[in-house]
Copies of this chain bind each other. A is one copy, B any other.
């Protein structure tokens, strides 16, 4: 359904992505792992054209696009089929929870107001925020804000949702809230590409894992194999560090 081929990106001469390939099938939940600075965020931003990749190709539903020559119109078309959940939510600060969800429907998709409100409420209900329609972002807790962001993504009925570290700004209990919603989406067959540091999520919810370092994919494949039988030395070390810092001594 989504295929990225040989994507490259440099900032001021420093290469951040050095030819990355990603393959996502309908219904896949792909977890992208990797140490800080490995280029995970940059990858997602390039895929959604928030950064312009220097080279590479994107195939979406069989249509091919070159990153360096895609037109504004094509970008706009692709964005209507995808959704993005930011690490720091990026809710519209001047809009209520409900308006955050309906804005894209009414303005970008020209949906009648009433229908948008209905869909918006459904989406908020789904993430457990039926009682927060008219709250502004700054009146919501971090976990609630992130759930509004997910509702905003859901409401547009996208073919795939990109997540950038959806729980890194949350405390353990709030993390639980958000992960539960994501697990439910996975169960319903939503296609998702998720940058995350939550090993438990990668381990139990995603069916594929991509491990990156220094702008390159080190290892990727089936999630069970990745955790139980990693192939690369660097992957093994990464998993060991993570486990150590989680257990500290044990």
> In the complex, are the beta carbons of A244 and B141 less than 8 A apart?
no
Task: Let me know if A168 is at the binding interface, CB within 8 A.
Answer: yes
Binds B, one of A11-19, A170-178, A226-234: A170-178
> In the complex, are the beta carbons of A176 and B36 less than 8 A apart?
no
Binds B, one of A51-59, A103-111, A149-157, A198-206: A198-206
When all copies of this chain in the complex are counted, the total is 2
B176, B183, B248: the one contacting A201 at CB < 8 Å is: B248
Instruction: Give chain A's interface secondary structure class.
Output: helix
> In the complex, are the beta carbons of A247 and B171 less than 8 A apart?
no
Which of A180-201 touch B at CB < 8 Å? Answer: 183, 197, 199-201
Task: Let me know if A245 is at the binding interface, CB within 8 A.
Answer: yes
> In the complex, are the beta carbons of B204 and A172 less than 8 A apart?
no
A interface with B by C-beta (< 8 Å): 35-36, 141, 168-169, 171-176, 179, 183, 197, 199-201, 203-205, 241-242, 244-250
In the assembled complex, 24 residue pairs joining A and B whose CB atoms fall closer than 8 Å, in A order, are A35-B173, A36-B141, A36-B171, A168-B171, A169-B169, A171-B197, A172-B197, A172-B199, A172-B241, A172-B245, A172-B246, A173-B241, A173-B242, A176-B241, A179-B248, A183-B248, A200-B248, A201-B248, A203-B248, A204-B247, A204-B248, A204-B249, A204-B250, A205-B248
